[in-house]
Amino acid sequence: MKSIVVANWKMNPVTMREAKKLFDATRKAAESAKNVSLIVAPPAIFLRELRARYKGKRIAFAVQSASAEGGGAYTGDTSLLQAKDTGAQYAIVGHSEQRAKGETNETAGKIVAAALVSGVTPILCVGERERSHNGEHFTVVKEQLRAAFANVEPGKVTKVLVAYEPVWAIGGEKAMSPRDMHEMTIFIRKTIVGLKGEAGMNIKILYGGATTESNALPMLKESGVQGFIVGHVSIDAVRFAILMSSIS
């Protein structure tokens, strides 16, 4: 089974010219990595043009955030249908940076449900801000999952990708251990099974949080994840190519 990599460019790069250059390098990395399905999430303002110049089938596109609303008086927001019209097949939902700006568990749940109705695959991000020894992080993740899947029909559970991102690791170079991630993989599946039934066993789980070219392969082999959501390394063409090659 192919691994999944989501290249989340965040608010990078500055110009369309740079975005094209980065995309061309990313495309080469994808073409060489036969066992990886790549999803590129550029800034929304670059999405349509990058999609239009790509004729292949190896790369899909995602919008970094979207509203659950279909349209109307929502200045600055992008609807899922608008994102789909630009060529996005996926939408990142509940990213920690959006949650930090006020996106609630319930809001994320509405976006997940709206994405499925719109024919866009949600990439649901969950994860705790900090970790203590008393296991509170499990409660945080469980509540995020409960709200996110509240309006998802059992038959559509596997259409949601779940990306576990421990917020304390994001942006750094040191990921959590594959062993700890394996524990979380089991917990996420068990929680979704409890919410929606046995289909939860088949959900695809990604890891995000300091994913680099040096730690991706051990994480893939030992943690039970199906792939990664990659932040700062995805905008470094050389490092990203090495990462893709390492898991191919």
Q: Please give the positions annotated as active site.
A: 95, 165
User: Residue 108 in 3-state DSSP?
Assistant: helix
3-state helix, strand, coil in the chain (%, to 5): 50, 15, 35
User: Residue 128 in 3-state DSSP?
Assistant: coil
Q: What is the DSSP string of 63-96?
A: ES--BSS-SSS-TT--BHHHHHHHT--EEEES-H
Determine the Cα–Cα distance for residues 184 and 56; give it in Å rounded to an integer.
35
Pair 117, 81: CB distance under 8 Å = no
Pair 52, 19: CB distance under 8 Å = no
Pair 111, 121: CB distance under 8 Å = no
**Closest to 78 measured CA to CA, from 61, 59, 60, 91:** 91
**Closest to 66 measured CA to CA, from 46, 37, 95:** 95
